Amino acid sequence: MPDQDETLLMHLNEAIATMRDKDSLFKVVTTKLRLIFPFDLIGINVFDEELKFKRLFLRDYFGADEAPPVPAGLDQFTPIAGSPIEKLVANPRVQQFSAREYLADYPDYAPYNKFEKLGVTHLTAVPLHIGGRLTGFLTLASRRTPPLTAADEKLLEKIGSLIAVAVANTLAFEEVARREQERTLQLNITNALLSIKQREPLFRAVAEGLSQVVPFEYFGIRVQRAGRQEGFEGFAEFSRLGAGAGAPLQALDPNRQHGLNHLDTAAMYQQVNDLLQGPGIYAGDDFRDLARRYPLMRRVYEEYGTRSLLIAPIWQRTDGAAVLILASPTPTNFRSEDLTTVLALVPQIALALENLFAFEQIEELKAQVEQERTYLVDEINTSARFGADSGTFIGSSPALQLVERRISLVAPTDTTVLISGETGTGKELVARELHNASPRHARALIKLNCAALPAQLIESELFGHEKGAFTGAVERRIGKFELANGGSIFLDEIGELPLDLQAKLLRVLQEREFERLGGTKVLHSDARVIAATNRVLADEVAAGRFRADLYYRLNVFPIELAPLRERRKDIEPLMRHFVQRLSKRLGKPVRQVRPADLAALQTYSWPGNIRELEHVLEQAIIVSQGPFLEFAGFAAAPLAAVATASTSAAPIKTLREQERDHILAALQRTGGRVSGSQGAALLLDINPKTLEARMKKLGIRRTVGVG
C-alpha cells in the first residue's frame, strides 16, 4: 500500500503545517491513522528533556459508549521511574506488547488496569523523535492484536517523527499563548494597582486574574508586618465557589484560633510560617505528609478536604513577610508550570500590595493630621478665649517648688503621672509642662475631660469608632489615644470615668492596644498618659467606685498640687501676673491694688483656687474706672465674703457652699445663660457640659439668674 502510505504522510504533513489548534490537529491525525491501523484508543505521552518525567499530552477513545476517565495525575508531569514507560524509554523503538505483560511488573499502574477491564489488551508503542532526541511515545491500543508488518513499523516510525514535530509545535504555541495570558494578567494587575485602593477589591481582582491562567478553588494572601498585631496583618481569602467561614486557608490564620486548645499554639503557627517561606507545590503524598507533621495542615486536609496547595512567597524580609496561597480539593490540580506562572506574576502582586499599604498609610496619616489640626485649632481658640498659660508657674512657695522639682524629674521619661489637687489648682498647667519638657514635645498633647461627656460617648472619644458603629456614626472617627500616638494624652477628672471604661483604659495602659468601637482590628498607641483628679482616688477605691488595679497603674508617679490657701505667698505674684495679662487682653489700663484689698485677697480661703482668683480679678478689671481695682459691688463675690468674715463671727462656708455661691454669682452676671460667648461657662473658664454637671450636683437650676 505504498500509495496509501504516501497519501497518509502527505495529509499529516499538510495538517501539521496548516493547523495550530491542538484538538483540531489531532482529530485529523487520529482519523487518518485509523484508515490504515485499527485501534480503539490513542494516547501521546511527552517527556522532559532529561527523560525523568512524563505527561499525557493527548488521548482519544473509540469503540465504546463511554470513554474511561483520565486517571488522576496523568495530565501532569509524573515520574517515569516506577511506571511501564521506563521500559519503553530503555528501548525506544516501535514495539507491540500486552497490558498484562507489564502488569506483572507494575500491578498498580492504573491506566493498564483500566485497559484490562475494558478488554483493551494489545498496545503498539511508537517513539517520537526530533533530531534524534526522544521526546515521547505514541501509543495505539486495541482489543485485538494488530497484524503489523515490517513495512507498517517503518511507516509508524515516519508517522512518529511527523507527530513529534506536531507535538513540539503545539507545545510551543501553548507556551506562547500562556505567556500572552501572563502579560495580559500582568497588565490587568497593573491596572488594578493604579485604580483600586481598597483591600478586598484589589485582592479579588488579583484572584480573578490568576484564575484565568491557573486553576484553583481557593485563593489567599497572608501578610505579616512588623509592629502590627504581633506581626500579623491579615488574611484575605476568596473562593471560586463563594468565600465563607468554611474557606480552608482561614485555618492558617492566627487571628482565628478555631477552638484550638493546644498549649503550644504559637509553635504550630511558627511551623506554618517556616513552611510558607519558600515556593512549592504540595499535593498527593507530599501534602498528606504535611498533614501528618503539621497540626494546622491536618485541619486544612481533614476538615476542609484540601488536597493540594501552591505556595508563592511575595516577599520575605526583616520587616515582615507576604505569601500567596492557592488551594484545591483535587490532588493533581497544580503543575510546575502553574508555579512558574504565579512566581512570574509575584513582582506585580508585590507592587500592588506595597501601593495598597502605602495608600492606606497615607489615608491614615491624612485622617490623623486632619484630626490633629482640628484638635489644635480648638486648643488655640480655647487658649485665646480663656488665656491658658503655656507652662508658666507663678510663685515661689515651697509647695510650688516641690511640684516643679517633681516635674523636672519625671518629664524626660515615659512614666505615667497622676496629678491630684482641688479644682482650679492648675492640673492642666502641670500636664502641659510635663509634655513640653518631655521628648514628645514635638507631637500633640491630647486632652479629654472625663466629666465633660456622657458615659456613652467617652469610649468613642477615647478609642474612636468605625462608620455605623452606632446611631449617628456616619463616618470613621479617630479616638484620642490614636491621635496621641507618639505624643501625650491628658485624662482630666479621671475619677469620673465609669467602671466599665476603667477596665478598657487599663488594657491600653498595660498592653498599649485597643479597638475602635464597631471594629475588630487591634490598634496600638505609643502615648504617654498623664491623668488628673480632684478626688482622693484611694478613697474612691475603698468605696468601690474606682478600680484598684487602674489606680495603682496610674499612680506610678504622683504629683499633688496644694490649694491656694496653702500657698498664700504665691497670691501676690499671681495677682500681678493676672492683672498684667488680663488688662492687656481686655484692652484696659493696668490698675493698682490697694493694700487693704491685697490683704483681703491673701486672707480669703479661695475654694476655687487659682481659677477663682483669676475670675475675681477679671471682673474687677472690667468694672474698675479709677486708678485702683474695685472689688466692691459684687454681692455674691468672694471678696464680699472676705470682708464679712473679717468683721464678724459668721461661720465659714464649706467648699461646696463656696462653689455654689461662685456659680450663682456667674449666672447672676450672665442672666442665667450657661453656654455661648455671654455664658457663665466662659466666665468660669470651664466646659459648658462640666458646668451643667456641677449645677445639677449642687442643685442649681438654669433659670436661677433671671429670678
More confident residue, 286 or 544: 544
Task: Please state, in angstroms and rounded to a whole number, the distance separating the CA atoms of residues 115 and 579.
Answer: 109
Split at pLDDT 50, 70, 90, the class of 441 is: confident
Q: Taking residues 271-295, what's their average pLDDT?
A: 80
Short-list 372, 551, 357, CA closest to 479: 372
Identify the pLDDT of residue 248: 65
More confident residue, 618 or 247: 618
Short-list 559, 585, 564, CA closest to 575: 564
More confident residue, 555 or 256: 555
C-beta atoms surrounding 451 within 10 Å: 19
Q: Which stretch of 501-505, 606-610, 653-657 has the lowest confidence by average pLDDT?
A: 653-657
All CATH 1.10.8.60 domain ranges of the chain, comma separated, are: 567-706
Q: Taking residues 543-556, what's their average pLDDT?
A: 92
All CATH 3.40.50.300 domain ranges of the chain, comma separated, are: 387-562
pLDDT in tens, 587-626: 999 999 988 888 888 888 888 899 889 988 998 998 888 8
Identify the pLDDT of residue 476: 75
Q: Which stretch of 342-351, 486-495, 583-592 has the lowest confidence by average pLDDT?
A: 342-351
Angle at 230 between CA 229 and CA 231, to 5 degrees: 90
Percent of the chain with pLDDT over 90: 15
Q: What is the DSSP string of 332-364?
A: T---HHHHHHHHHHHHHHHHHHHHHHHHHHHHH
Give the CATH architecture of domain 567-706: Orthogonal Bundle (1.10)
Place of cell 468694672: 623
Identify the pLDDT of residue 165: 84
Split at pLDDT 50, 70, 90, the class of 371 is: low
pTM: 0.48
Q: Which stretch of 56-60, 67-71, 86-90, 701-705 has the lowest confidence by average pLDDT?
A: 67-71
Answer CATH for 196-360 from 1.20.58.710, 3.30.450.80, 3.40.50.2000, 3.90.79.10? 3.30.450.80
pLDDT at residue 405 is higher than 70: yes
Percent of the chain with pLDDT over 70: 79
pLDDT in tens, 27-65: 777 777 777 788 888 888 888 888 888 887 766 655 444
CATH class in words for 387-562: alpha beta
CATH class in words for 2-176: alpha beta
Edge to edge, the sheet with strand 557-560 lists 445-449, 488-492, 528-533, 417-420, 557-560
CA Rg value for the chain: 42
Identify the pLDDT of residue 634: 40
Q: Taking residues 410-421, what's their average pLDDT?
A: 94
All CATH 3.30.450.40 domain ranges of the chain, comma separated, are: 2-176
700: left (phi over 0), alpha (psi -120 to 50) or beta: beta
**Most distant CA pair in the chain: distance in Å?**
145
Split at pLDDT 50, 70, 90, the class of 652 is: low
More confident residue, 331 or 263: 331
pLDDT at residue 413 is higher than 90: yes
Task: Please state, in angstroms and rounded to a whole number, the distance separating the CA atoms of residues 408 and 34.
Answer: 100
